[in-house]
Amino acid sequence: MDPNEYEIMYRAEQSHWWYQGMAAITKRVLEIFYAPDAGLRILDAGCGTGAGLFFLSQYGKVFGLDISPEDLRFCADRGCTEVARASVMALPFQGEAFDLVTSFDILYFEGIQDTTALNETSRVLRPGGRLLIRVPAFDWLRGTHDVKVSTAHRYTAKELAGKLVKSGFEIELLSYANMILFPLALLKRLSERWLPPQEDSDLSVKVGAFSGLFRRCLVLESRLIPKWRLPFGLSVVAVAKKNSSVHPSIPWSPLAPPKAGKPQGERLNPSLHI
């Protein structure tokens, strides 16, 4: 990933319309399955700069994990302590340790084998535990921003569902998101094929008075998704439950702890435990 993107994301997560709108969608989706103060044990696998950790904390005890030292530095700046450095393909936790795992725009990165990551997620979830996952949609929508953030692949809903089922999950919710703004995004992507490459990150593009309108479009979708599955959009959102028949003894990853409750790898907080 372009090193500048880490700081751009860190500064944008609290105020950018896209983050605010996606947070509204995430909140509505979680409310289908959980009440606040549900007392869950939650892993944010690929926690980025840490903004999501505070949001998820209303549902229980949250642990964060990311492979990027830059992201972890920003997590520390936010005051996040229960964070480890490790790969989503080798989760450093014992089996059946969590009630909920979240994965927000992580599976698509270069270097990540999605099947391995999903199998690892299944391993650390208790039977009946859930994965809330979001990925970018439609590989033909690739643009300059995908280059900046090292996108390896964009998914269709059907494709993501198939991978989840193969990893031992039952699909409980599957929808596209960011549908209303899809035509504008499509025009932008098409224009990139003829215009000079955009130097700035998509998150740095100023939309002025349209910012509030764009955010409200996503907030509206947050009210639609629990009732109607959106047929297209810029992202795919899914909630999948680990089948109770899935045996927890999927082989341990190289970083898996030899003893219960001792995550390995670099940690911001040496006392991090589960």
Q: What's the structural domain count of the chain?
A: 1
Report the helix count and the strand count for the chain, using DSSP H and E.
Answer: 9, 8
Give the Cα separation of 224 and 230 in Å (integer). 8
Q: Dump pLDDT digits (tens) for 237-274.
A: 999 999 976 544 443 333 333 233 333 334 343 333 33
Q: Which regions of 108-203 does DSSP assign to beta strands (E)?
A: 125-136, 169-177
Task: Estimate to the nearest angstrom the gap between the alpha carbon of 119 and the chain centroid.
Answer: 16
Q: Dump pLDDT digits (tens) for 101-137.
A: 999 999 887 888 999 999 999 999 999 999 999 999 9
Per the structure, the complete domain to which residue 31 belongs is given by 3-243
Residue 13 lies in a domain: yes
As given in the structure block, the two tokens for residue 45 are 């696998």
CATH number at residue 166: 3.40.50.150
pLDDT reported for residue 107: 84
| Whether residue 71 has pLDDT greater than 70 | yes
Residue 104 lies in a domain: yes
Q: What angle do CA 134, 44, 262 make, to 5 degrees?
A: 145
Residue 152 lies in a domain: yes
Residue 209 lies in a domain: yes
Give the Cα separation of 143 and 129 in Å (integer). 35
> What mean pLDDT, rounded, does the chain reach?
83
